[in-house]
Homo-oligomer: A and B are copies of this chain.
Amino acid sequence: MTIVTAAILVIGDEILSGRTQDTNTNYIARWLNEIGIDLMEARVVTDVEADIVAALNALRARYTYVFTTGGIGPTHDDITAEAVAAVFGVPLGVDKEAYRRLEAHYGAADFTPARQRMARVPEGGILIDNPVSIAPGFQVGNVFVMAGVPKIMQAMLEHIRDRLQGGQTMLSNAVTIMAPESKMAGAIGDIQAANPNTAIGSYPFMEAQRFGCQIVVRARTQADIDKAIASVVAYADGEQFDYEKN
């Protein structure tokens, strides 16, 4: 059974200042899950090259793939390309194909130095197409550098799908039980102990002043999931809790 792992590095002061709610992590997490890649860690760092470099080095050594979002635009605070070049110890050059695409898009007269910045790719980088606004992302080693704008990032993900080696998909099913988590914790712990091939998570919530809890069962095979879910349902039935399988 092949386990393939990944990390996300979100680059951008706007997330840390609270101005922008990051949604890319959640989108990438679900997308990776579908193709059998386990997201193991996510980080958000500021637009400071040393911080980006340190985070990339930690993550790329540990996980199969690293996906970055943000910092590849035309402005002075877009420094992801510099950071990735530093990480891999290669020069940051002008990629001819990226340059050609951008020049064709803007027209030679409007292809300003700021726009030319977006053609810079660390040596050896492989372009990631951007059908939305042309300026490409790029891959160096196991690091995939993408835009921060969600629509562009999502298009870039589709473009790299064939480059990624998926593993055994982590499947999941859930049961939402309308009872306080603390009431069922002992029983769920017992079910976890009896189902070692599963990872059972318990996520409490409040809805219209009522406490509920979603019990999520994750495993590599549906049979393992079904067995654990059946135990959760039998428990909820026994306690006469309202519940819903989802």
Contact = CB atoms under 8 A, between A and B. Distances in A.
Interface stretch (A36-44, A93-101, A122-130): A36-44
Contacts of A76: 185, 188-189, 192-193, 200, 202
A243 interface: no
Contacts of A74: 181-182, 185
A172 interface: yes
Interface centre among A30, A47, A185 (most CB of B within 10 A): A185
A50 interface: no
Contacts of A216: 14, 17, 19
A185 B33 contact: no
A73 B202 contact: yes
Contacts of A30: 18
13 contacts: A13-B201, A17-B39, A18-B26, A19-B174, A20-B26, A73-B204, A75-B185, A75-B202, A76-B188, A76-B202, A114-B182, A132-B206, A149-B206
A180 to B, nearest CB: 8
A14 B203 contact: yes
Interface in A3-20: 12-20
Given A74-B181, A172-B17, A182-B115, A43 B41 contact: yes
Contact of A73 (B27, B41, B185): B185
Interface in A113-168: 113-115, 117-118, 132-133, 135, 148-149, 151
